[in-house]
Amino acid sequence: MIRPDFKKMDGLVPAIAQDAATGEVLMMAYMNEQAWDKTLETGEVHYWSRSRQELWHKGGTSGHTQAVKSIRIDCDDDTVVLLIEQKGGAACHKGYRSCFYRELKDGEVRECSPLVFDPKEVYK
C-alpha cells in the first residue's frame, strides 16, 4: 500500500486531479489523512478545504464528483496524482471543465476549457 507522508507539510499534501482517459489536468487541491482515508474508503475523491477547514467531498454539492481510477504518488511521498473520471463534466467550482481554464499563449490570454455550468444556479 502507498501512503503520503502527511508530516512533511503540516498534514497536507498537494493532490492533482487528472482525467484518466485524456490526461487533462483538471484541478489541484490538498488532502490530509482524513481525506486520503475517505477517498480510499469510498472510491470518490475527498479533499481538505483550507478555506473552510473541513473535509470536502468533491461534487457533494454540485453532483460533479470524481471517481478514482488510480492514484500515483511521487518519489518523496508528498504529492499525489489522482487519475479520475470526472462525473458531470466540470471539475472547477466556477463551472469550467478544468480549473486551469485560462492560458497565456502568444502574448494573449484566452479561455481554453469549456464552461459546463453556471455556478450561480448550482451553488444557491
- Which residues are part of a known binding site for Mg(2+)? 74, 76, 78
| Closest to 47 measured CA to CA, from 99, 96, 88 | 99
Pick the closest to residue 38 from 78, 79, 66 (CA basis).
66
Residue 72's DSSP bridge partners are 81
Query: What is the signed CA dihedral for 80, 32, 97, 26, rounded to 10 degrees?
Result: -20
Q: Which residues are annotated as a binding site?
A: 74-76, 78, 92, 99
Rounded CA-CA distance 86/21 in Å is 10
Binding-site positions for Zn(2+) read 75, 92, 99
Query: Cβ of 75: how many Cβ atoms within 10 Å?
Result: 6
